[in-house]
Structures are given as structure tokens and as C-alpha cells.
Amino acid sequence: MKVKRIVSNIPTSNPDDASAFYESIFGLEIVMDHGWIKTFSSGEQMTTQVSVASEGGSGTPVPDLSIEVDDLDAALARVKAESIPIEYGPVSEPWGVRRFYVRDPFGKLINVLQHE
């Protein structure tokens, strides 16, 4: 048996609230919409991963999601344009990533990162 995909499900009473954040900040597209659930995708093929952690690194809280981007400055500019508060960073970490933390509309802590 092989695991083909792992999907993160975020509970909300209004899935439409996700669009402004996940589409406009990260450029994700809706690939499934049943009204009660919306699934967003970049269309990229990704490695299936599950991480467990006692902290988020550098003494930060463990983020709910990590989103790796190819241009952290562009993601940061979009976050600032939407006046979304940055909770940590941007910072270059000793393990070779540059990152910042924000919260999505549902309060989930998002680690936005780029490998350096």
C-alpha cells in the first residue's frame, strides 16, 4: 500500500471565507467545491509529508500548516497588502529557510517559508 495524498481539513462554518486568503495570498485555485467543503490546489506535484513537533523552531509555537513558496517576498507583499498581521518574522533560520507566520481567517497559524 502507498499513501497517495494527505489533505489538511480546517473546520469552519463558512468555507467561502477561505477564498480571500488562500486564493489571493497564495494563488491557489479551487479544484473542488461542494459548498460545504472547498479544496484549493497549486496544481504542483508534492511529496506526501506529516510532521510532528514539540515547537515550531526558534522557540515559536508549532504552526498548523506550513506553506512553502518560491518567492517569500511576493507572499509577504500580498500579506501586507491585505493588512494581515505578521506574528513572527520574516527571519532567516539557521536550518536554511526564510519564513514568517500569519493566521488564516480561521485562526490557524501558517508558517510561510522559502528554502534559501
Question: pLDDT at position 3, please?
Answer: 85
- Distance of alpha carbon 69 from alpha carbon 9, whole angstroms: 20
In angstroms, the CA 76 to CA 42 distance is: 18
pLDDT tens string, the chain, 116 residues long: the values are: 988 888 999 999 999 999 989 999 999 999 999 999 999 999 999 998 999 999 999 999 999 999 999 999 999 999 999 999 999 999 999 999 999 999 999 999 999 999 99
Rounded CA gap, 61 and 79, in Å?
20
- Complete domains list, the chain, with CATH: 17-115 (3.10.180.10)
Q: Taking the complete model, does pTM exceed 0.85, yes or no?
A: yes
Q: How many CB atoms lie within 10 A of CB 106?
A: 15
- How far is it, in rounded angstroms, from Cα 90 to Cα 114? 11
Q: Can you tell me whether residue 100 is helix, strand or coil? A: strand
Residue 53 pLDDT: 97
